[in-house]
Amino acid sequence: MNSNGCPFCTLPRARILGGNEHALWIRDGFPVSPGHSLVIPKRHTGSFFDTSDAERQALLALLDEARAATIAEFAPAGFNIGINDGPAAGQTVPHLHIHLIPRFEGDQADPRGGVRWVIPEKADYWSDLSR
């Protein structure tokens, strides 16, 4: 990893919970639920679409590893998996990272729609099926 001031390129070793040749995983510094993790490529790149096949395979393998560890520690009922790719999509750190967000029964009154809620006025497609 390079040290260009990017917070993911300069992570303290103590924060890293797992890794492989191309990626690492940490707990999110601002978690939205217990066990919220990030899977991050070691190479500084901003977009998922700029990763190599080997990097994508490594990221997904580590996502599985992070999921298994999260299940063992927190026993969530489900997960949201997300990438904010580009500023218009909400990306605030310009280094690709995949969010693994554990979900728990009752953490939201109605969790339907999941990641569709990034644009709230379009998330609920089931209430008015006549559209």
On whether residue 128 sits in a domain, the answer given is: no
Q: How far apart are CA 82 and CA 12, in angstroms?
A: 24
Identify the domain containing residue 49 by its residue range: 13-123
pTM: 0.91
On whether residue 3 sits in a domain, the answer given is: no
Exposure on the CB side of residue 76, measured as CA atoms within 13 A: 20
Segment 22-58, tens digit of pLDDT: 999 999 999 999 999 999 999 999 999 999 999 999 9
All residues at 6 or more sequence positions from 40 whose CB lies less than 8 Å from its CB, including other chains: 8, 23, 24, 25, 26, 95, 96, 97, 98
Q: Please give the order of strands across the beta sheet that includes 78-82.
A: 16-19, 23-27, 37-41, 98-103, 78-82
On whether residue 52 sits in a domain, the answer given is: yes
Segment 57-88, tens digit of pLDDT: 999 999 999 999 999 999 999 999 999 999 99
Q: What is the pLDDT of residue 2?
A: 47
Residues known to be catalytic: 97
Q: Say how many domains are in the chain.
A: 1
On whether residue 91 sits in a domain, the answer given is: yes
CATH code of the domain containing 34: 3.30.428.10
